[in-house]
Each structure stands twice: as C-alpha cells, then as structure tokens.
Structure 1
Amino acid sequence: MTPQEVARIAGLGLPVLCTDTCSVLDIMRDPTRDAARAHERVAAQALLAAMTTGPQLVGLVADQVRREFAENVPKVEQEAIQALTKLRERIIRANEIDKVFGGTGVVDLSHLDDHVQRAHAVADHWMAASETVRPSPAIADRAFARLMAPHTPGRRGQSMKDCVVIETYLEVIVALRAAGLTSPIVFASSNTADYANEQRGILNADLQAEFSPINVQYAPNLSAAKHLLGV
C-alpha cells in the first residue's frame, strides 16, 4: 500500500481484518462437511455488513490472497455442487424406501437448489468489499527467508505462497501501527495445519512472537475473528 493509503486507513480508526484465502473460501464450501458450522457463516455475514455499512470494519486482502481465491473458486464451487447433489440423491432414495414401508412424509431439499450460487455471491462480495494489499519489492526476499528458516507458515519443500501472504500483512500492519492506528487488528486463517495448534487453534509461538509487538491477534475462523474485533 502507498503511504497515502496507509494514512487513510489509519485515520479511520477502525478495526482491521486481514483474511487468508481459506477463510474466504470457507464461506462457500460444501455445507455438508463435518467441519461446517452455521455460526461461522453468521459471523461472515456480520463481518461483511460491518465492512459495507458504516463502515465499522476495514477488510484487507493480500494481492496473493486475491489471486489464490480466483484460482480456487471453481474447484470449491464444484465440490459444493457435487456434495449437495449427492445429499439430494440419498434423500430421494431414503424417501422411496420409507414409502415402501408405509411412510407418507417426504423430505424436501429444494431450498438448497441455489445454495452454492448464494454462498458464492457472499464470498465475491467479501472480496469486493476488501481492500487489496500489494506487496513491496522486498516481500519476495522476506518470504523466501521465512520459508527456508523455516518460520510459520513456512515449511521446507512447500510453496512460499503462504509466506508471501503473511509477509505482506506484516508489512502493512507495521505501517498502520506506525501511522497511529490503535484499533484491533486480526489475522484470520482456518489453515490451522500451517499456522496453529490444530486442536486448540493457538497460533504457533514463532509467529506469535512477531504478532505481539504490533498487537495483532490470530483467529482460526471468522466467528473468532468477529469476537476479537468486537464488531
């Protein structure tokens, strides 16, 4: 971000949410997954409303996140469509079998026919409402160093895309704090395998040591992000 953009955001004095790709994609993922939770979708809608009405919240997405979102949307959308199709087929079969034994009730899932499109629209709206953070020329070198160390989220043998994302956010957050922003800043990523203790959602200690001096908190899902941001 340019110094002028940083100054503008800092001047708003609003909470800031930095979102990883997976957390935005979660909004439109297969709702039949065991890990899917309604309250996290409720939080996503509330956070989006906070970004767009008022506003009460500034949403930031790294340029790398925007690229990854565009690349992954077709796959995530298709997975959701296939899962809901499979669910409907099972319910139809169960209805038919139950009818053989005298059952008269029918489970109707027609309300799910356009679920994927509606969820996709919310995810698109999230991306449109969020401001893009473009990396400075120094980010690539920092990301490579993080990967090779390795420091969270870097792991040897992996792509350095996640490292580019976190370095991009660290750079803009440092600039926002230097510009006088004192409001809560949260980094949200449901990729707990790379960022946190998967059982407890606690950020890895090495990244926490970087977050603490600039007063950044980690959220493993958007519900936790909403709570930490106080919106």
Structure 2
Amino acid sequence: MALPAAEIARLVDLAAPVLCLDTCSILDIMRDPNRDTMHAHHVSAGMGLLAAVESKTILVGLIATQVQLELVEHVDHVQEEAKDAMARLGDRVKRIDAIASALGAVGSTDLSHLDDHVVRARAAVDRWVLAALNVPQSNDTAGRALSRLNQAQAPAHKGKDSMKDCVVIETYLEAIRDLREDGLTAPVVFVSSNTKDYAEAPGSRLRAELATEFAPLNIEYASTWDLAKHILGV
C-alpha cells in the first residue's frame, strides 16, 4: 500500500479529481521560455492546476517520492540553465537595439519585467512540491519496477536504464489501484511531457502496454498541462 489507509479514506471521501505528477512536467515550468515547445497556454494551465491543488478541495495532486528525489537532483541545474538563457536573450536584444540605433532608430527595448522571471518560475516549482501529497514507495514498488525494467515494459526501453521512471509509474499504479478499490470514481490523470518514454511515436498517445494498465484503473495520460486540465475538468 503506497498511501496510508487513513489517507486513502480521506481522498475517497473528498471525491476530487486526482493529478499524478511527473518530474519533467514540473521542471518544464522553469525551463528556458525561448524553447519552441514552450507556450503560454501550457504554463497558464499548469498554474491553474496548481491553484486548484493548493485549494485542498478542488483537485488532489500526488507526487511520488521518486519524483521529489529527481526534483532535488535536477532543479538547481534547470534553474541555472534558465538564467543563462534569459541572459542570452537580453544580450541578443541589446545587440539588435544597437544595430537598429546605428540605422537611425530611436529608443530601446525594455525587458525589465523579465528580470525576476526565473525566480517566479522557481517559486512555482517549489509550490508544486509543497502542495502535492507525497506518495511513498511501498515494500513492493522496487521489485515491480525492476521486473518492468527487465521486461523492457513501458516506460522502460531496451538498452536504457529507466528504473526511475519505472518506480514512478509503479508508485502511481499502486496508489490509484488502492483509491479505486476503496471507491474513488473521480477522474485521474498522469501528466508527463516525457513523450519519448510514455507516448507512442509520433504523437502524445500513451504507449500501448501502459494503456492496458491504465484503462482498468480509469487513468488518463496527458502530455501537457492544458490537456490534463481539460480531462480533469477543473
């Protein structure tokens, strides 16, 4: 049992939708906003879901212990990458302004509103960690994850060490199984932008072998925050 019995009973009584969080999607909020894959509507949906989780009644956010460990491992590095990217953007705009000025343009671009962008993004990541309910590994999680890895069963791939991803998915499968068996009927979504491991290529449809495990538990997969928000109806 991943969650304590009392916590399972509380969540079933609450009857709120459930969002299972993956490391990639949380870190996406803080990544370089210059990337072509970054869109305002994705981030806006993520912040809306965060507010719903923070309400403690509208939406339940679950965060596996393995996800927390991965965030601790990667969050500072991602933050530094974002800082560097924003600095490069500022330098690029200054260079363009100088070129424009040399051609007779008057004025300069004001990017001061972006000065604390990375700080705000990091704060959002920290809020997710604080707001979501931790789901610890049970005594059986590691064994099931290893079996999944050895069989190259999604999210595992042959020739790739996907043990951490396997631990995450096994943690959530067990938690949702316990909730469903206790009577939870609300929507459940697993959100991960890691389509390379979780989705069929190309596209964002869940890999077939995972779909067969998600379906009996009525778990939906979302590759973006806005898709997760749409499915959850919050």
TM-score (norm 2): 0.96
Q: Which amino acid aligns with 1:126?
A: W
Other-structure match for 2:12:
10
Q: Deviations over 1:143-200 (max 9, x none)?
A: 0000011111012331400000000000000000001000000000000000002432
> Is 1:227 the counterpart of 2:230 in the alignment?
yes
Other-structure match for 2:127:
125
Other-structure match for 1:204:
207
Other-structure match for 1:75:
77
Q: Which amino acid aligns with 2:212?
A: A
C-alpha separation between the residues in 2 aligned to 1:27 and 1:98?
Answer: 33
C-alpha separation between the residues in 1 aligned to 2:56 and 2:137?
Answer: 28
Range with bigger deviation, 54-63 or 176-185: 54-63
Q: Which amino acid aligns with 2:193?
A: S
Q: Which amino acid aligns with 2:225?
A: L
Other-structure match for 1:218:
221
3-state SS of paired residue (1:61): strand
Q: Contact 1:148–1:155 at 8 Å: present in 2 too?
A: no
* 1:58 Cα offset (Å): 0.2
Q: How many residues align?
A: 231
C-alpha separation between the residues in 1 aligned to 2:70 and 2:85?
Answer: 22
3-state SS of paired residue (2:29): helix
RMSD of aligned Cα (Å): 0.9
Q: How does 1:17-36 map to 2 (within 5 A)?
A: 17-36=19-38
Other-structure match for 1:86:
88
Other-structure match for 2:186:
183
C-alpha separation between the residues in 1 aligned to 2:36 and 2:128?
Answer: 24
- Identity score, percent: 50
Other-structure match for 1:55:
57
> Is 1:101 the counterpart of 2:103 in the alignment?
yes
Q: Which amino acid aligns with 1:166?
A: I
3-state SS of paired residue (1:102): coil
> Is 1:155 the counterpart of 2:157 in the alignment?
yes
C-alpha separation between the residues in 2 aligned to 1:193 and 1:105?
Answer: 45
3-state SS of paired residue (2:186): coil
Q: Contact 1:30–1:84 at 8 Å: present in 2 too?
A: yes
Q: Deviations over 1:95-147 (max 9, x none)?
A: 01110110013111111110000011011101100000001110111000000
Q: 5+ residue gaps in structure 2? A: none
Q: Which amino acid aligns with 1:115?
A: H
Q: Contact 1:23–1:189 at 8 Å: present in 2 too?
A: yes
C-alpha separation between the residues in 1 aligned to 2:200 and 2:114?
Answer: 34
CA shift in 2, pair 1:189/1:50, >3 Å: same
Runs of 4+ in 1 over 4 A off after TM superposition: none
TM-score (norm 1): 0.98
Q: Contact 1:17–1:185 at 8 Å: present in 2 too?
A: yes
Range with bigger deviation, 17-26 or 47-56: 47-56
